Structure 1
């Protein structure tokens, strides 16, 4: 799924009823399907994060070079289209060859999400 762009409207566009999903902790807009989860062992700005293949109902901020734990990456913060809260970031580019697998993926901060549909997530 391609990244959301800045011209996204401010209404929630995607709903996945009946599918295990992650939701915005502030407004309950669906953000990602559980099936899109790659890894639970990432770090965000405010604690643990999830690396995801895709995210929906997000608006992307401006690209910037950011020093992260694994080196300098080109990222853009992502925001919920429902409420505007920052949810994490999108990896545009990794400078280190060993980090290239992150390109085109999303880091969603655990504290900014809730999971729905009574599924288990081992921590």
Structure 2
């Protein structure tokens, strides 16, 4: 088991979720239960799966949850691109959050490689 507060990717994913919540406050109110809700779920899923994996009994289980978290990052990135494509929020406002998604994807891959090399 890993102490979740010590995992850099978990900390970064919390930062991402906060950035997402601030960003989507700019979405039109008619998106409150549509795209906005899905984006919130995706962003929360990332840190939640990292935490869930950290509390598991084996590295194999942990890596599985990291894989799920990575899928959520890709879902979120797709949804953010859709916000731009639909002209709901400008690319200039969304791009820093997409960049954070890409950073987390890289961190996740590196972390999984590190876990692989330990066992």
More helix by share: 2
Tell me the TM-score normalised to structure 2 length: 0.24
Q: TM-score, normalised by structure 1?
A: 0.24
Greater C-alpha radius of gyration:
2
Looking at secondary structure, tell me which structure has more strand per residue: 1
